[in-house]
Amino acid sequence: MSLNIIPADQALLVKAIIVYLYADPGLGKTSIGFTGDKAISFDFDKGSHRTGELRRGAVVQVNQWADVANLTASDLEPYNTIVIDTVGAMLESIKTHLMLNNTNKQKDGSLKLKAQGLANNIFKQYVNSFIASGKDVVFIAHASEDQSGDQVIYRPDLGGKNRNELYRIADIMGYLTTVTTGEGKNARVISFSPCPTHHAKNAGDLGLKIINDKGVEVQTGEVWVPDLKTNPSFLADLIKQAKDHINTLTPDQLATMKAQEDLENWEQSCSEIQHAGDLTQLTESLDKSHIYYQSMRQIMLKKAKELGFTFDINSSRWINPAEFFGITNVQRNELQELLTQANLDVMSFCENQGIDSLMAIEAAKFNDVKAYIINTTQGQGEIIA
């Protein structure tokens, strides 16, 4: 039997894709899921009843993880689109199941670290089983609002490691929100183009195209959500459009595009890091076989250095910097008086010590700095701040 070898310059037929859709509350993300082709929705969030007449697909109401833990391929045979609503609730369902075993719990009732790792593995295996089914898979998530400096950022409300895993495997990822039109009306729009305010991916080349001021056609990545009552196949049509575009690409083109999207999402995720735990979760999702592994690693290390994190090899975790305790105002005034007596300029002294101001001196080093200033007048000073 000869192998069916597809050359790198020949398009590879994609029969199923992975969609990642996240949204603000009350925008109808569950209803959109039912507009997929022969959809079945796994209702972990217990919200399918709110879709009313817009519920056009089958529903599995998940009350506990045991309800769906032993799902088989034959269970999914009649359906073409699998909807997970929501992925955050699915992960919580797994964790709740593991907490039924007391050996997985700490004294305060929370999951042990090892059990949390087990929950992540079960989550990943279950996701992979859906993908292996050959069906289109739609992951729905709530949007979380995070602050990075002055910038508000919207991203899927899911734990770091699993969130980044879904970033990686999704073909298209969109943020559903509302905008005000030129007529002053509210309209729903899904943005598949990444930007500083939200995460997204657009391997399917979805959305409006416009001509910019330079006369060049550009992809906005924006898809306006129509009235689902009169557009019952909205998601199915969107998925077909994405597949049709992906199937025009060669494997090399598709791999290059996805790798670039991975790098952009990684850089954006790193830029939003504020705590060592977040960077640890992100680091765990770093794939050493990725074409941009070294670039991703350098971006990660740069962010760690910027925030003062250190890496503990034994625990394989990033550690927050030690809390800074500076000198008091009274101690600062004492140092200023000594500098004046020694005919030393305060600003020049700080520059020589590599600090912005005297208040950047650690309280534990006060006596050393004081002795240094005194010794400087005697030609015995050594830089110690």
Max alpha carbon distance in the chain (Å)? 93
- The whole-angstrom separation of Cα 42 and Cα 60 is 5
For residue 232, give the 3-state DSSP assignment: coil
Tell me the per-residue pLDDT of 17-47, one tens digit each, with 9 for 90 and over. Answer: 999 999 988 899 999 999 999 999 999 998 8
| Cα 89–Cα 114–Cα 305 angle in degrees, nearest 5 | 90
pTM for the whole structure? 0.75
- The whole-angstrom separation of Cα 206 and Cα 357 is 52
Tell me the per-residue pLDDT of 193-210, one tens digit each, with 9 for 90 and over. Answer: 888 888 899 989 998 777
What number of residues does the chain have?
Answer: 385
Crossing angle for the helix pair 329-341 and 366-376, to the nearest 10 degrees: 10
Question: From the CB of residue 377, how many other CB atoms can be counted at a distance below 10 Å?
Answer: 13
Beta strands 186-191 and 172-180 are: antiparallel
What residue ranges define each of the domains in the chain, with the CATH number in brackets? Answer: 18-249 (3.40.50), 329-376 (no CATH)
pLDDT, one tens digit for every residue, the chain (385 residues) = 566 666 666 666 788 899 999 998 889 999 999 999 999 999 999 888 888 788 888 999 999 999 998 888 889 999 999 999 989 999 999 999 999 988 988 888 888 878 888 888 888 888 888 888 889 999 999 998 877 767 788 888 887 677 878 888 899 999 999 988 878 788 999 999 888 888 899 989 998 777 777 777 777 889 999 999 999 999 999 999 999 999 988 888 888 888 888 898 888 888 888 888 888 888 888 889 999 999 999 999 999 998 889 998 888 889 988 777 888 888 989 888 888 888 888 888 888 887 888 888 888 888 988 888 888 766 444 444 4
